[in-house]
Amino acid sequence: MTAHGTDRPLPLSVDRTSPVPLYFQLAQQLEAAVEQGRLAPGALLGNEIDLAARLGLSRPTVRQAIQTLVDKGLMVRRRGVGTQVVHSQVRRPLELSSLYDDLEAAGQRPATEVLRNTTEPATAEVAAALGVAEGSEVHLVERLRSAHGEPVALLRNHLPPGLVVPLRTEELVATGLYRLMRAGGITLHSARQSVGARAATAGEADVLDEEPGAPLLTMERVTYDDTGRVVEFGSHVYRAARYAFEFQLLVRP
């Protein structure tokens, strides 16, 4: 099995003294290779028989390992082609950071299409989140964020009036919203966030290259600066097959 279409084999191994099943050990290593870019999108996996012989595993064990990644949406089996890497899933920690920065840090090559960059009257929901009067003019930025050329998320952000941050479309294409806010002198301090899930609407499915009704992760976030002022209300949807939130849980003493 090679990386990036070269003849350099991936450093794979299994520990037979470990209680972790052999197929799962192999699946974890292959998943790490995908996430780290050593197995790039479009790369073909080598022959299962050769891999089984190389690691001293049975073909069913190797097949089960690969099927685990197929089930996660990281790989796909194509008749007449073989098993091919599709993409890595974006795992995002629950912290006050932008999707653009998280994708870039993970080597995911983020790209942005700005769908709307305008002002509009605040709905009741937006007004309540931003602490402004319903119907007052607020700034709306709507973007499609992609990684490795595949849609990942549809991002809608409302900003309150009077927030002196130039949001030029060409800059929103080139970088993340939080970077522009920081460059405009805003110190992000904290946020209140909720995470959920629902089915994709027809419009969302069309933009995200999904089927209507496909599962989407949702995230709503109200962000505050260091003076306690609300500076942003984000309402985002993410493709569940391409995205996951990570939580760190601590035992309360």
Paired strand residues for 196: 218
* Enclosing H/E stretch for 116: strand 110-121
pLDDT over 90, % of the chain: 28
* pTM: predicted TM-score of the whole model, two decimal places: 0.62
Give the HSE-up count for residue 47: Cα atoms under 13 Å, Cβ half-sphere.
4
With a CB cutoff of 8 Å and minimum separation 6, the contacts of 203 are: none
The pLDDT tens digits of the residues spanning 43-62 come to: 887 778 888 888 888 989 99
Contacts of 154 (CB under 8 A, 6+ apart): 142, 143, 144, 145, 204, 207, 208, 236, 237
Burial class (CB in 10 A: 0-12, 13-18, 19+), 72: middle
The residues pairing with 93 across neighbouring beta strands, listed in sequence order, are 246
7 falls in which pLDDT band (50, 70, 90)? very low
Provide the pLDDT confidence category of residue 236 given band limits of 50, 70 and 90: very high
pLDDT of residue 5: 42
